[in-house]
Amino acid sequence: MDIFQVIAYKLIIILGILVYIFSLIGNLLNICVFIKWSRPRNNANHIHNNNNNNNNVRTSNSPLYLLVSSCANFIKIVYPVLTCIIFDDFQHPKTEDNVFVTCKFRYYVLHKSDLISLKCICMVTLDRYLISSREASLRRLSPTLRKSKLIIL
């Protein structure tokens, strides 16, 4: 290998690790924000009305979907990308003992978390469309919290 290939290889490893660290931090911050936003909130206007039996008002399930999407992205970053860095960039040897962890399970986790994240983003889009619709019949189609949890699974 010539000097340029060595420099390029080391630069790729350093930049890859930096991107990995910053993406972990960014995803953890997303998760913290969406945990706060996905909790039911007390609506002061609703309390002053005569209907006091439902003080917790949720206007949308979008924060819940975004929380699950961020968690799936976090899992995707933590396991598959880390094993890719260890085994591909640092040339850690693949043996018969670790081939399941390095290849098969890594791709399963990668693709499963991608699908969960994509499904949640699609559900956010649909939920926002239904909630912002002018027609009451479409607004009623927006799923409840219980149905949203079942959809995510």
Tell me the per-residue pLDDT of 53-112, one tens digit each, with 9 for 90 and over. Answer: 444 445 678 888 899 999 999 999 898 888 888 877 777 777 777 777 777 888 899 999
Q: Does the predicted TM-score (pTM) go above 0.85?
A: no
pLDDT at 55: 45
User: Residue 121 and residue 57: Cα distance in Å, rounded?
Assistant: 22
Residue ranges per structural domain of the chain: 3-152
User: Residue 36 and residue 110: Cα distance in Å, rounded?
Assistant: 27
